[in-house]
Amino acid sequence: MSKPNIVILGAGYGGMITTVKLQKSLLAEEANITLINKHDYHYQSTWLHENAAGTTHHDRTRIPIQDIIHREKVQFIQDTVCAIDPEEKKVKLSDGEVSYDILVIGLGFEAATFGIEGLAEHSFTINSINSARLIREHIEYNFALYNNEQRKKQARLNIVVGGGGLTGVEFLGELANRVPELCREYDIDKAMVRIINIEGASTILPNFESQLVEYAINSLEARGIELITDASIKECQKDHVIYEKDGIEMEVPTMTTVWAAGVQANEIVQQSGFQTTNGKVKVRKDMRTPEYDDVFVVGDCALVMDEQTNRPVPATAQIAVQEASLVAQNIKALVKGRELQKFEPNLKGTVASLGEDDAVGVVFNNRKLYGWKAMIMKQLIENRYLYMLGGFKLMLKKGKFNLFV
């Protein structure tokens, strides 16, 4: 291949790390690298829950793409991907078309609402800077409206979070810290505010060990969060949500339902004709699609099976970053005519934050962490990522050092 066009779709964890690794390992005369993204910034979706709760400003969570890419090596196009044509090796954008020799699909996730009535129209999801700051403003607006209405509406003060997985729990932890501030700001009695979590499994954080779960439950309940398990949301409307538990339907008045109970791969992948399983491409060991030797998939759009457990590897930021490193390496191999390597996930553990200085997690060979120690670990993971993305300077600029100062 003489100076191939490498096109990377999406500037999430997978797309960004692929781009950064490629701009380091390939010379400008070896390949044309193009990164395409809807926004001119990258954001760390694992921190969006803080922007949504209003505890951290969204500018802390996003990084201008131009600050990370080397302009002499990478061309950046700000546009929305509409479709991929893998036969013609073309990507259709809102405002044009791009041809590729090698493609990386890192188009991320979107909310999956499983056909639940009204959920797509009336619930919010924490999946972008735009949606996160809208949730922040939506909550504030309802608190502001509360004291302006003759007939006070409890629905304005109730916040329902659907799903008690990682995102749901982390958002609840931030809300628990934020709500007292909001009550002061809008002259509202804190006792009037309800924060309700509805989880389908028999516990929150179903993938965590029971000791960690217990710690998390105590932390959240002590701050007034109501945890309802073994329950499922049946319907969501503008001013209420209906859930079912033990065969009984309950209606909760709320203007704010945040849906954190399901994600799916970006629909464009399936719509573009790739073979998919639950919307994801079950990639080969070298992270390429089964059908095309020139198309790689990373992050939420890729389905990677764990050879030992024969179960899908979780689609976390950690795994997306690992995949992207391999994809960059394999693209270089493809360009140089060398052999491609296979992906081997390295699960380093997970930490769930529970608020400003509280968290639970498992790291390094099942070591359990609680409280501020777990939070420091979460920050270290974050800072390591930033170092990988933009070096020491970016880590200092955007890193999390709350507990050290």
Work out the burial of residue 22: count CB atoms within 10 Å of its CB; fewer than 13 is exposed, 13-18 middle, 19 or more buried: buried
Q: How far is the CB of 82 from its own copies (least distance, A)?
A: 13
Please choose, out of 182-190, 200-208, 276-284, 308-316, the segment that lies near its own copies by the rule CB under 8 A. Answer: 182-190
Nearer to its own copies, 17 or 135 (CB): 135
Q: Is 140 in the site for its own copies (CB under 8 A)?
A: yes
196: CB partners within 8 A, 6+ apart: 158, 159, 160, 161, 225, 226, 228, 252, 254
Using the minimum distance from each CB to its own copies, give the nearer residue, 59 or 306: 59
Nearer to its own copies, 144 or 228 (CB): 144
Stretch that binds its own copies, among 44-52, 136-144, 244-252, 359-367 (CB under 8 A): 136-144
Residue 133 contacts its own copies per CB under 8 A: yes
Kindly tell me which of 140 and 244 has the beta carbon lying closer to its own copies. 140
**Which one of residues 60, 138, 152, 384 is an interface residue with its own copies (CB under 8 A)?**
138
Give the whole-angstrom CA distance, residue 257 versus residue 241.
7
Member of 77, 134, 242, 388 binding its own copies (CB under 8 A):
134
| 185-186-192 Cα angle (round to 5) | 115
Contact 220, 354 (CB under 8 A): yes
Number of residues that bind its own copies (CB under 8 A): 17
Among 66, 80, 130, 211, binds its own copies (CB under 8 A): 130
Tell how many helices (H) and how many strands (E) occur in the chain: 9, 25
Judged by beta carbon, residue 138 or residue 373, the one nearer its own copies is 138
Contact assessment for residue 373 and residue 364, using Cβ atoms and an 8 Å cutoff: no
186 in contact with its own copies (CB under 8 A)? yes
- Scanning 78-86, 124-132, 166-174, 214-222 for contacts with its own copies by CB under 8 A, the matching segment is 124-132
Q: Is there a contact between 358 and 50 (Cβ–Cβ < 8 Å)?
A: no
Shortest reach from residue 179's CB to its own copies, in Å: 16
Q: In this complex, which beta carbon is closest to its own copies, that of residue 153 or of residue 348?
A: 153
Among the listed residues 88, 137, 209, 214, the single contact to its own copies using CB under 8 A: 137
Nearest-approach distance from CB 180 to its own copies, in angstroms: 16
Binding residue (CB under 8 A) for its own copies from 82, 145, 201, 333: 145
Residues 6+ apart with CB under 8 A from 192: 154, 157
* Catalytic (active site) residue 170: yes
DSSP annotation string for 260-288: -S-EEE-HHHHHTT---BTTBEE--TTSB
Quick one: which segment of 10-18, 47-55, 183-191, 319-327 binds its own copies (CB under 8 A)? 183-191
380 binds its own copies (CB under 8 A): no
Burial of 279 (0-12, 13-18, 19+ CB in 10 A): buried
Q: Which of 148, 150, 310, 366 binds its own copies (CB under 8 A)?
A: 148
141 binds its own copies (CB under 8 A): yes
C-beta separation of 96 from 314 below 8 A = no
Question: Any contact of residue 388 with its own copies (CB under 8 A)?
Answer: no
- C-beta of 113 vs 289, nearer to its own copies: 113
Structure tokens at 85: 């044509």
Write the single-letter amino acid at 140.
E
The one catalytic residue among 110, 170, 323, 356: 170
Query: For the residues of 65-126, what is the DSSP string, one character each?
Result: GGGTS-TTTEEEEE--EEEEETTTTEEEETTEEEE-SEEEE---EEE--TT-BTHHHHEE--
The answer to the question of residue 144 lying near its own copies (CB under 8 A) is yes
Render 316-363 in DSSP notation, one character per residue.
Answer: -HHHHHHHHHHHHHHHHHHHHT-PPPPP-----EEEEEEETTEEEEEE
Contacting residues toward its own copies, per CB under 8 A: 129-131, 133-134, 136-138, 140-141, 144-145, 147-148, 185-187
User: Catalytic residue positions?
Assistant: 170
